[in-house]
Amino acid sequence: MRPSRNLRDNTSLVAPIGSNKNTTVNDSRTYVTRPDLPPLEDFLPLLRQIWESRTLTNGGPFHRQLEAALCEYLGVRHLSLFANGTLALITALQALGIRGEVVTTPYSFVATAHALLWNGIRPVFADIDAESLNLDPARIEAAIGPETTAILPVHCYGRPCATEAIADIAERRGLRVIYDAAAAFGVKDAGGSVLRHGDLSVLSFHATKVFNTFEGGAIVSPDVATKQRIDQLKNFGYVDEVTVVEAGINGKMSEFNAALGLLQLPRVDQAILRRREVDALYRALLTGVAGIRCLPPVAEVATNHAYFPILVEAAYPLSRDGLYDRLKAAGIHGRRYFFPLISDFPMYRHYPSARPENLPVASAVAGKVICLPIYPELDDATVAAACRLIAAP
């Protein structure tokens, strides 16, 4: 008879986090990000409540509380929680009945365009602006064709798009706008939350984001009817116990994730403040390093410092990959977000708009970018060490 496995000693059942790609357990390396978490002791009473109530999901009390708390924190009126940002993007496109072609950016995480393919929509890639790295409004306009129904811009690195110009194009050309605001948690422009722009905005609360619920996401809606429709869509299309009105999906956030979100929210301002200090330190230490360009701070924007991208220009003695490898060899694991361009992946490269000659700015930037580590726990000494390596290649 085989000896029974002792389930109390469960260490052998647990593979190291990220063991397929990168290891973060007992690991002295510095990664591009590291999730901020509340003390475990603070989470245990909430877990106990979940255990006692046996309400694990389907719009329980923590889910309702987190929706209300996020609306207040973000300054938006209607928000629907999701299991992750990708499901939220897919559902947002469903909710507006988007079909045909959608103009979007190649310079983003691949989920942006995947959400289109999952809806049977053809992406049309337009080039980005060299300074903001967001969609260039003139290139959006040029990409619109007879089958275009919407624009899917991304607030890249959480930095706001040219929202007024995009609204103007959408109005003149009769298009819907869904913002992929995955990285734009808490970002405000002169008029308030950036999440108010467009028909819908989609957030991600993934472990790597400024505000995380382990996995999670949300759609911000302008009115209660749209929120209700989205809430139906994320719950299989149910409206009551016996009525299903459309082919919905299971996009619901669990009580576990929502409870964590409630603990994370009071921490996020402090986390953003520390990110701001790290951002400022990088800028101070990298000023004057020939061939290294930091993105300029955005005027009149309260940003969240989600990422710290640098561009490695021709004047720098090493190639981008040369610097990336040098940092990695020293234990500083930046990431080349967003290289390769989405348009270079095999399921996209056959589209006419995916040709590099249509996307000269995005292609050039994807070849220069490194996102340096930035997160609340990162210490000044590590930032300084990274900058010394960059400054003396």
Interface with ligand T4K (CB under 6 A): 17-18, 21-22, 24, 31-35, 84-86, 108-109, 111-112, 154, 180, 182-183, 204, 206-208, 217, 333, 335, 337
Q: How many CA atoms lie within 13 A of 305 on its CB side?
A: 21
| Nearest residue (CB) to ligand T4K, 217 versus 248 | 217
* 317 beta partners: none
State in angstroms the smallest separation of the CB of 25 from ligand T4K: 10
State in angstroms the smallest separation of the CB of 24 from ligand T4K: 4
Question: From residue 75, how far is each of 185, 187, 271 by CA, in Å?
Answer: 11, 10, 19
| Nearest residue (CB) to ligand T4K, 199 versus 316 | 199
**Residue pointed to by tokens 């990088």:** 282
| Nearest residue (CB) to ligand T4K, 180 versus 189 | 180
3-state secondary structure of 292: strand
3-state secondary structure of 347: coil
| Nearest residue (CB) to ligand T4K, 16 versus 317 | 16
- Contacts for 111 with CB less than 8 Å, ≥ 6 apart: 85, 86, 89, 182
State in angstroms the smallest separation of the CB of 180 from ligand T4K: 5
| Nearest residue (CB) to ligand T4K, 18 versus 191 | 18
Look at residues 191, 92, 192 and name the one whose alpha carbon lies nearest to residue 151. Answer: 92
State in angstroms the smallest separation of the CB of 29 from ligand T4K: 9
CB atoms under 10 Å from CB of 63, counted, come to 23
| Nearest residue (CB) to ligand T4K, 110 versus 239 | 110
| Nearest residue (CB) to ligand T4K, 223 versus 379 | 379
Structure tokens at 372: 């340096």
State in angstroms the smallest separation of the CB of 4 from ligand T4K: 32
The burial of 344, by beta-carbon neighbours within 10 Å (0-12 exposed, 13-18 middle, 19 or more buried), is given as middle
State in angstroms the smallest separation of the CB of 392 from ligand T4K: 25
Structure tokens at 104: 């979007």
- Report strand pairing: 30-31 vs 238-240: unpaired
| Nearest residue (CB) to ligand T4K, 221 versus 316 | 221
Name the maximum alpha-carbon separation found in the chain: 75
Structure tokens at 150: 């919407």
State in angstroms the smallest separation of the CB of 17 from ligand T4K: 6
Look at residues 213, 126, 182 and name the one whose alpha carbon lies nearest to residue 307. Answer: 182
State in angstroms the smallest separation of the CB of 210 from ligand T4K: 11
Q: Burial letters for 194-204: b for 16+ Cβ neighbours within 10 Å, e otherwise?
A: bbbbbbbbbbb
| Nearest residue (CB) to ligand T4K, 62 versus 337 | 337
State in angstroms the smallest separation of the CB of 32 from ligand T4K: 5
Structure tokens at 19: 């063991």
What sign does the dihedral 364-311-319-327 (CA atoms) show?
negative
Q: Burial letters for 247-267: b for 16+ Cβ neighbours within 10 Å, e otherwise?
A: ebbebbbbbbbbbbbbebbee
Residue nearest ligand T4K by beta-carbon distance: 85
